[in-house]
């Protein structure tokens, strides 16, 4: 992993996922270390994402490194018409590592080819957000004690949700059984179902999850956005089927945990928050340890 | 049948004959191979009868021989194309087009939000299905199929 960019979750193998997770565990036990002393990490956010940026910057700061960069495109030279190529070529002279978020898909792969220093993709449009996926894996392993043989429920927008696609790719290495719960308009795309079929993995599709929820080990919730529907009436009719409420968890497995990439809108009712099966806030906190692990392994500090 | 062909587009002494091009894609093939910029003598016929393709086109270029990697570029639009290498009016070699594993700089990515459609970048694809010619963008990872394919 040393000196290699992380653009797409498939850039890492199963063994490399596990290596990152093991390392993240060490950082969770000891989050303040000075291993990044004297190093500079550039955080280039061509579109704002406060949550992701703070998580990365906190990871760097707790390891004793310094951060430079910008938090939205208006404070960068991109607004003056500078190409991404030129921005990256300039910035890689000032940093040991680039963390980048950009609204255009494929921008991170391109940056990694132009840059002299490794690039971590912190989201390129609707395409990839691999550090989110690794923190999802970390949360799953931490709460279940294993990644193997789990029943994973994915709920809501499975068509456009990049987090569920990447999580599916990663979890397919661990003999997962998938349950896809979504409205017809937002079903899991065929290419992912074909991928699972080729790997000999089982998946099931449902329009709502009230009857099957008790089988879940992990319930991964996503936002169902109105603008994704071509028919607004269809949205009004279906939206309530994808809201998780506390009473639905009454007979669920004792080990089940609810995950969500955050921010949520209304797809997880507030009454779930106090249930010990709700894990989404801790999940976000895990992001710092996982990003510490990714940064330090790319910089070859472990 | 063979004689009819020779009547439609006259024979060449030395060079390359590219046959079995789908008629509608003749000009794409010409662009991809850069034949619109060469000085060599060239004849072509289009909308010829073909059992396989319905309407086909044929190109004959004098004193021109292609490297495999160049000729494979036309696989995107004319995967069935066949090449005859002509020396002294005789066919000395036959070649078929092979769909390569990767395609660089010929097709455009279908995704308007792809970085390659927003900045000067040479496109790159891996070929995920050689039969149907389905491409996956190296950058945005989206699929471009033959229906949506546009040539740069
Ligand atoms: Zn693309």
Is residue A302 situated within a structural domain? Answer: no
More confident site: A117 or B49: A117
Whether residue B82 sits in one domain with residue B26: yes
Query: Cα(A9)–Cα(B140) distance, rounded to whole angstroms?
Result: 13
Print the domain residue range for B107: 102-151
Last residue of a domain, which of B80, B96, B112? B96
| Nearest chain B CA: its distance from A115 CA (Å) | 15
Output the pLDDT for position A139. 98
Compare CB distances from B115 to A8, A104, A191 and report the shortest one's residue: A104
For residues A112-117, give the mean pLDDT: 98
Tokens for A105? 């898909």
Is residue A116 situated within a structural domain? Answer: yes
Is residue B20 situated within a structural domain? Answer: yes
Q: What is the CATH number of the domain that holds A64?
A: 3.40.50.1370
Give the count of domains, chain A.
2
Whether residue A279 sits in one domain with residue A201: yes
**Contact between chains at B115 and A127 (C-beta distance less than 8 A):** no
Is residue A298 situated within a structural domain? Answer: no
Tokens for B144? 């471009």
Whether residue B44 sits in one domain with residue B71: yes
Task: Kindly provide the b/e burial profile for residues B23-32, where b requires at least 16 CB atoms within 10 angstroms of the residue's own CB.
Answer: bebbbbbbbb
Query: Cα(A70)–Cα(B132) distance, rounded to whole angstroms?
Result: 44
Residue B33 CA, chain-centre distance (Å), reads 7
Whether residue B36 sits in one domain with residue B81: yes
Output the pLDDT for position B54. 86
Output the pLDDT for position A291. 98
Interface list for chain A against chain B, based on CB atoms closer than 8 Å: 8, 83-85, 102-107, 109-110, 124-128, 191
Tens of pLDDT, residues A55-64: 999 999 999 9
Whether residue A173 sits in one domain with residue A61: no
Q: What is the ipTM of this complex?
A: 0.89
Output the pLDDT for position A1. 86
Mean pLDDT of chain B: 89
Query: Cα(A160)–Cα(A77) distance, rounded to whole angstroms?
Result: 30
Whether residue A135 sits in one domain with residue A82: no
Phi, psi of A286 (to 5 degrees): -60, -25
**Contact between chains at B115 and A106 (C-beta distance less than 8 A):** yes
Q: Best of A7, A47, A101, A105 to disrupt the B interface by mutation (most B CBs within 10 Å)? A: A105
Pairing of strands A177-181, A203-206: parallel
Whether residue B34 sits in one domain with residue B77: yes
A51 has catalytic annotation: yes
Whether residue A87 sits in one domain with residue A217: no
Tokens for A143? 């709460």
Tokens for A177? 């059984």
Q: Best of A5, A104, A121 to disrupt the B interface by mutation (most B CBs within 10 Å)? A: A104
* pLDDT confidence bin for A34, thresholds 50/70/90: very high
Chain A CB contacts of B109 below 8 Å: 106
Whether residue A122 sits in one domain with residue A157: no
For residues B103-108, give the mean pLDDT: 91
Output the pLDDT for position A236. 85
Nearest CA among A86, A1, A2 for reference residue A44: A86
Phi, psi of A114 (to 5 degrees): -90, -30
Whether residue B60 sits in one domain with residue B133: no
Is residue B4 situated within a structural domain? Answer: no
Query: Cα(B86)–Cα(B91) distance, rounded to whole angstroms?
Result: 5
Q: What is the CATH number of the domain that holds B31?
A: 3.30.70.140
**Contact between chains at B139 and A125 (C-beta distance less than 8 A):** no
* pLDDT confidence bin for A171, thresholds 50/70/90: very high
For residues B1-17, give the mean pLDDT: 69
**Contact between chains at B113 and A84 (C-beta distance less than 8 A):** no
Output the pLDDT for position A103. 94
Is residue B51 situated within a structural domain? Answer: yes
Mean pLDDT of chain A: 94
Output the pLDDT for position B9. 63
Is residue B8 situated within a structural domain? Answer: no
Whether residue B141 sits in one domain with residue B86: no
pTM for this entry:
0.88
Output the pLDDT for position A56. 97
Tens of pLDDT, residues A214-238: 999 999 999 988 888 888 888 888 8
Whether residue A150 sits in one domain with residue A95: no
Is residue A224 situated within a structural domain? Answer: yes
Whether residue B82 sits in one domain with residue B59: yes
Is residue A10 situated within a structural domain? Answer: no
Last residue of a domain, which of A128, A158, A176? A128
**Contact between chains at A106 and B119 (C-beta distance less than 8 A):** no
Nearest CA among A127, A80, A83 for reference residue A101: A127
pLDDT of A27 strictly over 90? yes
| Nearest chain A CA: its distance from B117 CA (Å) | 9
Give the count of domains, chain B.
2
Output the pLDDT for position A241. 84
Whether residue B139 sits in one domain with residue B72: no
pLDDT of A130 strictly over 70? yes
**Contact between chains at B141 and A125 (C-beta distance less than 8 A):** no
Whether residue B106 sits in one domain with residue B92: no
* pLDDT confidence bin for B51, thresholds 50/70/90: confident
Nearest CA among B90, B152, B111, B103 for reference residue B129: B103
Is residue A295 situated within a structural domain? Answer: no
Is residue A5 situated within a structural domain? Answer: no
- Residue A268 pairs in a beta bridge with A244
Whether residue A236 sits in one domain with residue A150: yes
Whether residue A115 sits in one domain with residue A44: yes
* pLDDT confidence bin for A96, thresholds 50/70/90: very high
Print the domain residue range for A165: 131-284
Query: Cα(A24)–Cα(A37) distance, rounded to whole angstroms?
Result: 19
A62 has catalytic annotation: no
Output the pLDDT for position A79. 66
Whether residue B47 sits in one domain with residue B72: yes
Whether residue B22 sits in one domain with residue B92: yes
Distance A184 CA to ligand 1 centre (A): 26
Least confident of A72-81, A207-216, A234-243: A72-81
**Contact between chains at A85 and B119 (C-beta distance less than 8 A):** yes
Least confident of A13-22, A35-44, A70-79, B17-26: A70-79
Distance A301 CA to ligand 1 centre (A): 34
pLDDT of A285 strictly over 80? yes
Output the pLDDT for position A95. 98
Compare CB distances from B137 to A104, A106, A191 and report the shortest one's residue: A106
User: Which residue in the list A53, A62, A101, A260 is annotated as catalytic?
Assistant: A101
Is residue A19 situated within a structural domain? Answer: no
Whether residue B108 sits in one domain with residue B125: yes
pLDDT of B151 strictly over 70? yes
pLDDT of B5 strictly over 60? no
Chain B CB contacts of A107 below 8 Å: 115, 139
Whether residue A169 sits in one domain with residue A119: no
Helical ranges in chain B per DSSP H: 2-8, 26-32, 68-71
A101 has catalytic annotation: yes
């Amino acid at each position: 992993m040393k000196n290699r960019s992380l653009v797409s979750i498939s850039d890492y193998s199963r063994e490399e996922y596990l290596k990152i997770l093991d390392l993240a565990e060490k950082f969770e036990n000891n989050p303040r270390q000075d291993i990044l002393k004297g190093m500079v990490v550039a955080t280039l956010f061509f579109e704002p994402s406060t949550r992701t940026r703070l998580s990365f910057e906190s990871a760097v700061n707790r390891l004793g490194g310094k951060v430079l960069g910008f938090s939205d495109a208006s404070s960068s030279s991109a607004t003056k018409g500078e190409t991404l190529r030129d921005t990256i070529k300039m910035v890689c002279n000032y940093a040991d590592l680039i963390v980048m978020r950009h609204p255009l898909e494929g921008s991170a792969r391109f940056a990694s080819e132009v840059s002299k220093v490794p690039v971590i993709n912190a989201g390129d449009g609707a395409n990839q957000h691999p550090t989110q996926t690794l923190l999802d894996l970390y949360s799953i392993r931490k709460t279940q004690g294993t990644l193997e043989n789990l029943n994973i429920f994915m709920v809501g927008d499975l068509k456009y949700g990049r987090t569920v696609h990447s999580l599916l790719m990663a979890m397919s290495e661990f003999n997962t059984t998938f349950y896809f719960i979504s409205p017809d308009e937002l079903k899991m795309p065929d290419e992912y179902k074909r991928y699972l079929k080729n790997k000999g993995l089982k998946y099931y599709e449902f329009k709502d999850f009230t009857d099957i929820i008790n089988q879940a080990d992990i319930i991964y919730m996503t936002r169902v956005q109105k603008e994704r529907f071509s028919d607004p009436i269809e949205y009004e009719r279906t939206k309530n089927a994808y809201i998780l409420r506390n009473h639905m968890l009454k007979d669920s497995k004792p080990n089940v945990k609810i995950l969500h990439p955050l921010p949520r809108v209304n797809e997880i009712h507030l009454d779930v928050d106090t249930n010990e099966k709700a894990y989404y806030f801790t999940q976000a906190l895990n992001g710092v340890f996982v990003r510490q692990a990714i940064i330090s392994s790319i910089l070859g500090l472990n | 049948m063979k004689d009819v062909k020779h009547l439609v587009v006259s024979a060449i002494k030395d060079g390359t004959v590219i046959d079995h091009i789908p008629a509608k894609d003749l000009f794409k093939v010409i662009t991809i191979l850069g034949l619109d910029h060469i000085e060599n003598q060239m004849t072509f016929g289009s909308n010829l009868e073909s059992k396989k393709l319905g309407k086909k086109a044929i190109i004959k270029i004098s004193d021109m021989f292609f490297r495999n990697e160049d000729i494979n570029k036309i696989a995107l639009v004319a995967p069935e194309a066949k090449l005859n290498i002509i020396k002294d009016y005789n066919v000395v070699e036959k070649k078929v087009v092979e769909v390569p594993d990767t395609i660089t700089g010929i097709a455009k990515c279908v995704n308007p939000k792809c970085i390659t459609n927003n900045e000067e970048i040479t496109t790159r694809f891996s070929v995920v299905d050689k039969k149907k010619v389905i491409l996956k963008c190296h950058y945005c990872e989206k699929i471009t199929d033959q229906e949506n394919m546009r040539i740069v």
